[in-house]
C-alpha cells in the first residue's frame, strides 16, 4: 500500500491519463485490492492534480451539434438536420473511452426516475444477481466486485420516489457532473464504469463461442487468447518493484485487454454483451460520412435487443421486441445521449 501511495503521488495524472486508467484496472482486478482500496487510491490521485471535468453535460439543442460542423462535411450537416427532426436534444459525455458505459448508466437511471417503473427495477435487479453469479463462476472473488454492484443497486433505489434516499431530476444531474459539484461525481466518473465493465466482461466470457467470431473480426484474437499489453508491464514494474511476480499470472483474455481496462473504447461487442446481460434494449444512431439512400439523406441506426432468454424487459412475456428507451448517438470513437421528440 505504501508503495502505491508513493507511486500515485510521483507523477502528473494530467499528462498520463492512459497510464492512470491502466493502473486503476490493475488495482481493481488484483486479488489483494478491493473496491474501497481502489477508491482511496483514486482519491489520492485527485488530490495530486487530476483535472476537473464534467462527466455529463446539460441537455442542448441539436443546433449546437450542427455548429461544430459548419466548416466540415456537408453530408454531416444534412444528417444533423435529419436528426433535428426526430430528436429534441443531445447530452454530451466526456470523451475518455468510457463514454458508452457512462451514457448508458445516466440514460437508464433517468428513464427509471421519469417512469417510476418498479417492475423494471425488480427485473434488472434479478439480472444483476445473475451477473454476480456469472463472475463467481468465472473465478472472481466477491470482494473484487461486490462494492461496485452494491453502488449500482443503491442508485436504483435512489431514483425510485418514496424512499428515504430518493432524489430528484436535478439531483441526478448534479450527481453526474463532477467531484467539485457533488461527492457522487466519482461514482459516475469511475466506479459505475467499473461495474458495467465487470458485467460486460462476464457476459462475453460466459458466451465466448457466440462472441468469438465478432472478436476475431476486430482483433484477430480469440476470447481466450492470451494478450498482455506492454503498458501493463511498465506499470507493474514500477508499482511492484519490491516484489517478484510471475508474468504468467497477468496473461489476459480479450476481456482483460479490451473490455475491463478503464479508458478502452466500446463497440458492438460491448454493447451487445451489456444489453444481453442486463436485458435492456439500446438504440445507437450513427452520425458518419456513409453514403445516403437514393432520393434523400438518411441516418442509420441499429437496435441492440436482448437475446438471452427471459432477460428482456418485454411486457407480459411478449416476444415482440421492445422499442429501446435508451438512444445513443455514435460519432467515430464517441457516444452521447439523444432525446427523442
Q: Where are the domains of the chain?
A: 1-48, 56-221+231-311+318-340
Query: What pLDDT score was predicted for residue 36?
Result: 60
Contact 87, 338 (CB under 8 A): yes
Query: What pLDDT score was predicted for residue 307?
Result: 82
CA dist 148 and 196 (Å) reads 9
One of 25, 140, 270, 334 is an active-site residue; which one? 334
The answer to whether residue 301 is catalytic is yes
The answer to whether residue 334 is catalytic is yes
One of 96, 147, 178, 276 is an active-site residue; which one? 96
Residue 144 is classified by DSSP as G
One of 8, 21, 25, 99 is an active-site residue; which one? 99
Judge if pTM exceeds 0.85. Answer: no
- Among 200, 260, 204, which residue's Cα sits nearest to residue 229? 260
CA dist 145 and 274 (Å) reads 16
The answer to whether residue 142 is catalytic is no
CA dist 170 and 168 (Å) reads 5
Write down the residue that cell numbers 429501446 correspond to.
Answer: 324
The answer to whether residue 310 is catalytic is no
Write down the residue that cell numbers 441537455 correspond to.
Answer: 59
Burial of 280 per CB tally in 10 Å (0-12, 13-18, 19+) = buried
One of 30, 111, 268, 301 is an active-site residue; which one? 301
pLDDT beneath 50, residues of the chain: 1-19, 22, 31, 46-52, 180-182, 225-252, 315-320
Start-to-end CA span in the chain (Å):
51
Q: Beta-carbon neighbour count of residue 3 at 10 Å?
A: 13
**What's the CATH fold of domain 56-221+231-311+318-340?**
3 helical TM bundles of succinate and fumarate reductases (1.20.1300)
For the segment 28-40, what is each residue's pLDDT rounded down to a tens digit?
A: 555 455 666 665 6
Helix (H, G, I), strand (E, B) or coil at 191: helix
Amino acid at each position: 500500500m505504501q508503495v502505491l501511495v508513493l507511486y500515485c503521488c510521483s507523477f502528473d495524472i494530467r499528462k498520463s491519463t492512459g497510464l492512470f486508467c491502466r493502473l486503476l484496472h490493475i488495482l481493481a482486478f488484483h486479488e489483494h485490492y478491493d473496491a474501497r482500496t481502489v477508491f482511496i487510491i483514486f482519491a489520492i490521485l485527485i488530490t495530486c492534480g487530476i483535472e476537473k471535468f464534467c462527466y455529463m453535460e446539460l441537455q442542448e439543442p441539436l443546433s449546437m451539434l450542427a455548429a461544430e460542423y459548419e466548416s466540415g462535411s456537408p453530408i454531416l450537416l444534412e444528417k444533423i438536420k435529419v436528426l433535428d427532426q426526430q430528436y429534441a436534444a443531445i447530452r454530451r459525455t466526456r470523451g475518455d473511452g468510457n463514454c458508452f458505459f457512462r451514457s448508458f448508466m445516466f440514460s437508464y437511471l433517468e428513464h427509471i426516475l421519469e417512469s417510476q417503473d418498479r417492475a423494471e427495477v425488480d427485473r434488472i435487479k434479478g439480472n444483476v444477481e445473475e451477473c454476480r453469479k456469472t463472475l463467481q463462476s468465472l473465478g472472481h472473488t466477491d470482494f473484487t466486485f461486490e462494492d461496485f454492484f452494491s453502488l449500482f443497486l443503491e442508485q436504483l433505489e435512489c431514483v425510485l420516489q418514496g424512499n428515504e434516499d430518493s432524489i430528484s431530476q436535478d439531483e441526478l444531474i448534479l450527481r453526474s457532473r463532477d467531484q467539485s459539484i457533488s461527492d457522487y461525481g466519482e461514482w459516475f466518473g469511475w466506479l459505475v464504469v467499473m461495474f458495467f465493465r465487470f458485467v460486460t466482461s462476464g457476459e462475453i466470457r460466459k458466451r465466448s463461442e457466440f462472441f468469438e467470431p465478432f472478436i476475431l473480426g476486430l482483433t484477430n484474437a480469440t476470447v481466450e487468447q492470451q494478450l498482455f499489453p506492454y503498458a501493463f508491464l511498465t506499470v507493474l514494474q514500477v508499482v511492484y518493484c519490491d516484489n517478484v511476480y510471475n508474468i504468467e499470472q497477468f496473461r489476459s483474455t480479450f476481456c482483460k485487454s479490451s473490455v475491463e481496462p478503464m479508458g478502452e473504447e466500446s463497440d458492438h461487442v460491448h454493447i451487445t454483451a451489456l444489453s444481453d446481460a442486463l436485458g435492456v434494449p439500446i438504440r445507437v444512431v450513427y452520425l458518419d460520412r456513409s453514403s445516403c439512400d437514393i432520393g434523400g439523406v438518411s441516418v442509420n441506426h441499429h437496435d441492440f435487443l436482448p437475446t438471452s432468454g427471459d432477460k428482456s424487459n418485454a411486457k407480459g412475456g411478449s416476444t415482440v421486441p421492445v422499442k429501446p428507451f435508451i438512444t445513443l448517438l455514435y460519432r467515430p470513437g464517441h457516444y452521447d445521449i439523444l432525446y427523442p421528440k
